[in-house]
């Protein structure tokens, strides 16, 4: 199948419209092994779970590869051995 003749890698015909808000715009972007509750107490540490948030925490900002490490440690071993 030939490549499209309208494709370009120079951004000449790209849209400058705002990115559409939708459910995908609300996806959480940070994984962390614990979270702080409303009283300031840590919840979930040492549970082996990842908690998802749209707000960066000190963990997600300061720990190298925080998202990847949390996701990998809590993967389904039957799917990703």
3-state SS track over 40-69: CCEECCCCCCCEEECCCCHHHHHCCCHHHH
40-70 pLDDT, tens per residue? 898 988 887 888 888 888 888 898 888 888 8
Distance between CA atoms of 43 and 81, rounded to whole angstroms? 28
11-37 pLDDT, tens per residue? 676 667 766 666 555 665 788 888 888
Q: What is the pLDDT of residue 1?
A: 46
Q: Residue 39 pLDDT > 80, yes or no?
A: yes
Q: What is the pLDDT of residue 5?
A: 57
pTM across the whole model: 0.51
Q: Per-residue confidence at 9, pLDDT binned at 50, 70, 90?
A: low
| CB burial string 13-22: b at 16+ within 10 A, e below | eeeeeeeeee
Spatial neighbors of 71 by CB under 8 A, at least 6 apart, are 31, 50
């Amino acid at each position: 199948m030939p490549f499209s003749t309208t494709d370009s890698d120079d951004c000449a015909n790209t849209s400058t419209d705002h990115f559409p808000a939708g459910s995908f715009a609300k996806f959480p972007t940070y994984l962390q092994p614990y979270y702080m509750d409303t009283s300031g107490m840590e919840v979930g540490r040492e549970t082996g779970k990842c908690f998802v948030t749209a707000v960066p925490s000190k963990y997600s900002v300061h720990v190298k590869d925080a998202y990847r490490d949390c996701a990998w440690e809590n993967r389904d071993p039957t799917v990703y051995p």
